[in-house]
Structure 1
């Protein structure tokens, strides 16, 4: 496992490359009781400060809380887990800027839907697993590992730190 203590911009670029064009993630957060609950979310923006933005339903209890985002690209065997903090944001200007017609089934009144808010994810720890070889190569390596009884390298596992940059002074 490698741990990167890169400059935030380098870590942001690597995270953007790992997520790629995959805009779908599973969001896991505290549910009722001791249970965790997950739901699919569509990433709207990964901004210059390293924050991830999603549309969400406005919650009465909008306190920041811990979350985990899981991105999976099975075609390229890239998996990303982002542990962080979620904060509900009511910013109509940003909602309008990020609005897409694909959100209309969940928010039929469009960007002015009264129950529409933004969910800002502040990443605190990013872990990734990346196996760049083809599926066939990975399958053969796995079979060789099973037959030989020894571990075989199936890709890179790492931790990105310092993904967030401080906003530029105004």
Structure 2
């Protein structure tokens, strides 16, 4: 994923947490009001905190963008980020060209010229994160201490960032 320098400290925090995570679970609400999740390759986080993904215009995903969530997970480092917002479809061909990768060809056989290729623009509104920031051994000791104390001890940082969306 390409990540641009961020314009705000809150966005920089999210950038730092998700750097190196390329796949997110995109959750939306389908026509029957059910939550539906699917793994998606996140192409870019721009300088304003907008996330860009490729999508097939024939998929139901493009009609389920009123409320969405992107969930990033790095189990190795115990870092988890949940980003809630809304999305829209963009057919900006210059951005498609800039973000195109041959790795997308199995889904879009005609490459960046595929007629059903579009971009999803996900605008973040809130983010919640959990970040242990410790080695596995330290996390194991913290877990053991938490069990003994019957409360979380040294389990890392948890936070919520509201209104990532620009006015």
* TM-score relative to the length of structure 1: 0.86
Cα distance, 1:27 vs. partner? Answer: 0.3
Aligned twin of 1:27? 26
Deviations 1:109-140 (A, max 9, x none): 00010111000000000111010111111111
State the partner residue of 2:75.
74
Larger relative contact order (C-alpha < 8 A, sep ≥ 6)?
Answer: 1
Match of 1:11 in 2: 10
Unaligned residue ranges in structure 2 (runs of 5+): 1-5
Q: Is the CA contact (8 Å cut-off) linking 1:28 and 1:39 kept in structure 2?
A: yes
Could you say which residue in structure 2 is the equivalent of 1:161?
162
Which structure 1 residue ranges, 5 or more long, are not aligned?
A: 1-6
Q: How many residues align?
A: 160
Q: Is the 8 A contact 1:11 1:162 kept in 2?
A: no
1:27–1:69: 8 Å Cα contact kept in structure 2?
yes
- Partner-residue secondary structure (3-state), 1:43: strand
Distance 2:17 2:149 in 1: 31
- SS of structure 1 residue aligned to 2:88: strand
Equivalent residues of 2:7, 2:47 under 8 A apart: no
Further displaced range: 97-106 or 62-71: 62-71
Q: Does 1:47 align with 2:55?
A: no
Runs (4+) of structure 1 exceeding 6 A deviation are none
Matched residue SS, 2:151? coil
Q: Give me the TM-score of the superposition, normalised by structure 2.
A: 0.88
Query: How far has the Cα of 1:8 moved from its partner?
Result: 5.3
1:3 — aligned with what?
Answer: none
CA distance in structure 2 between the partners assigned to 1:154 and 1:64 by the alignment: 34
Q: Does 1:125 align with 2:126?
A: yes
